[in-house]
């Protein structure tokens, strides 16, 4: 089963929301199978922007972070088909366009789950379910993927 990561998961792993969330995000990421875990290119762009604008990182440090994540996970490209699907998703479900790009990219890559704390938990579109990996109760597919590790 393939899973895609949203920006907040990587941002927390970088320590943006404190040590407790960093520990939870790193534990989650370490439990994911590398071969089936993907990161949309949009996620990397948003992470760069967040690290520079909100976290106060230098651009070279933010670049190093996204390069490292790009080395850790296969990237999902934002193709014209992904963008057009995202526009439809945004129009049909009142979703922000950049969140829709991430979800459409996950769908195009054959993901079953999109791990996101920011998007609507439980929303399913074209076979991809958005789930909050930091929720007290984990989605059954995520629980199975992680080998029934408890959530933090």
Q: Taking a C-beta distance cutoff of 8 angstroms, is the pair 112, 129 a contact?
A: yes
* CA–centroid distance for 98 within its chain: 12
89 pLDDT above the threshold of 80 = yes
Domains and CATH numbers, the chain: 2-145 (3.40.50.1010)
As a 3-state breakdown, the chain gives helix, strand, coil percent values, each rounded to 5, of 55, 15, 30
pLDDT greater than 90 at residue 107: yes
pTM across the whole model: 0.93
Q: What does the pLDDT read at residue 147?
A: 85
> Is 150 a residue whose pLDDT tops 80?
no
pLDDT exceeds cutoff 60 at 151:
no
CA trace torsion 64, 69, 72, 76 (10° rounding): -130
* 122-147 pLDDT tens trace: 999 999 999 999 999 999 999 999 98
Residue 55 pLDDT exceeds 70: yes
Q: How far is CA 28 from CA 14, 25, 111, 122, 130, in A?
A: 13, 5, 17, 18, 16
- Smallest CA-to-CA distance from 100 within 70, 126, 72 is with 126
Residue 24: predicted pLDDT = 96
């Amino acid at each position: 089963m393939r899973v895609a990561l949203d920006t907040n998961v990587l941002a927390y792993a970088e320590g943006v929301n404190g040590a407790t969330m960093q520990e939870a995000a790193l534990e989650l990421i370490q439990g994911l199978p590398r071969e089936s875990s993907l990161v949309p290119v949009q996620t990397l762009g948003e992470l760069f922007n967040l690290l520079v604008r909100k976290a106060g990182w230098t651009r070279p440090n933010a670049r190093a972070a996204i390069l490292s994540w790009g080395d850790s996970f296969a990237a999902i490209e934002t193709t014209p088909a992904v963008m057009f699907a995202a526009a439809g998703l945004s129009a049909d479900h009142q979703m922000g366009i950049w969140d829709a790009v991430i979800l459409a990219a996950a769908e195009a890559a054959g993901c079953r789950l999109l791990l996101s704390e920011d998007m609507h938990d439980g929303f399913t579109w074209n076979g991809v379910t958005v789930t909050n990996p930091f929720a007290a109760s984990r989605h059954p597919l995520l629980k199975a993927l992680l080998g029934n590790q408890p959530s933090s």
